[in-house]
Structure 1
Amino acid sequence: MNNVFSYIIVMALVTYLIRALPLTLIRKEIKSSFVKSFLHYVPYATLAAMTFPAILHATDYVLSSVIGFVVALVLALNKKSLLTVAGAACAVAFVVEIFLH
């Protein structure tokens, strides 16, 4: 049980340092357009890196997950609402999963 608390403390320190160090080290405005654009896309890349593996392992078969993801991608690129995209992706993955059993 002691090990769990030490893991939580280390995780909290790392999380705090990641958020606090840029605030303390960078005092002036960033003028480089490359650095600005890089920092602009970091949250999106991080979210994608955390979400995509979960999408592939959300169902029993990877094929149904991939088909649901493709449906979600097509709907999102066609500017459909988040509720429509999520609902359609879940429904398609569910139907494909039924046919694969």
Structure 2
Amino acid sequence: MILEAVMLQVKPGMEREYEDAFREASTIISSMKGYISHSLQRCMEVNGKYLLLVNWEQLEDHTIGFRQSAEYQEWRRQLHHFYDPFPTVEHFEKVEF
């Protein structure tokens, strides 16, 4: 399993609109091959800051399957105009010990 982690900064005053748009767009990502689960966390200290966590079966399910799909274009249309600056996406794998 791969964890996608994205720190998001939403433009000031657009937080409520963003959360509504994200709720709607969630159906897009959750329908993708290799998707396991996701959560959106709101920062308690910084207004407009969010953490998106998405679990994927494999890295390629996100980087190729989702990012190169028509569904991603719709996700982008619904959400990307809220971000400033544009977020950096990072992927993590569990450390076994």
- TM-score surpassing 0.5? no
Write 1 or 2 for the structure with the bigger share of strand.
Answer: 2
Write 1 or 2 for the structure with the bigger share of helix.
Answer: 1
Higher relative contact order (CA 8 A, sep 6+): 2
Q: TM-score, normalised by structure 1?
A: 0.23
Q: TM-score, normalised by structure 2?
A: 0.24
Greater radius of gyration (CA) = 1
